[in-house]
Amino acid sequence: MKNVIPVVVIVSLLVLLFFTSCQQEEEVPTSVFVDENLLEYFDLFIEEGTKRGVEVDLSDISGYIIQITNLNVAGNCSRDSKTIRIDEVFWRSSPGWDRERVVFHELGHCFLQRGHKNSFDENTNTCHSIMNSGNSICEVKYFGKNRATYLDELFMEQ
């Protein structure tokens, strides 16, 4: 019986040694998902940034079209997980230029690390930036010739 205890102890130590010294840290696979409906807007964001001299790499940013339960929220960005979410009701009911504006706004947060900018022209009630929080009284007029001005501000204000 005296020989059994040392054998058990030795076997236990060997097992412990095996698992602690031979075990490699397992890399947690990181997968990025972008909803196929968002891909064209991700590509366009890269294109518009490149035109303005900004190197854009969205390879670590995920994009989802999901139900967002907060009222009047068309999209959001989680900077920690580098994930944008666009509300599916907004997506279904909005024209392409409005979709682009919201996706670019969220990528402005997640990629460009921009915060909200709520300044506006008091004469025309026009927001100065698509990075407007949506809680102010101004209107983002993101179409026609204004689009280029908004994109210049988005990519060039660092």
Question: pLDDT in tens for each of the 158 residues of the chain?
Answer: 555 555 444 444 333 333 333 333 334 446 899 999 999 999 999 999 999 999 999 999 999 999 999 988 999 999 999 999 999 999 999 999 999 999 999 999 999 999 999 999 999 999 999 999 988 789 999 988 899 999 999 999 75
The reported pTM is: 0.80
Whole-number CA gyration radius for the chain: 25
Q: Which segments of the chain are extended strands (E)?
A: 62-66, 75-78, 83-87, 120-121, 126-127
**Nearest one of 55, 53, 54, 45 to 77, comparing CA atoms:** 45
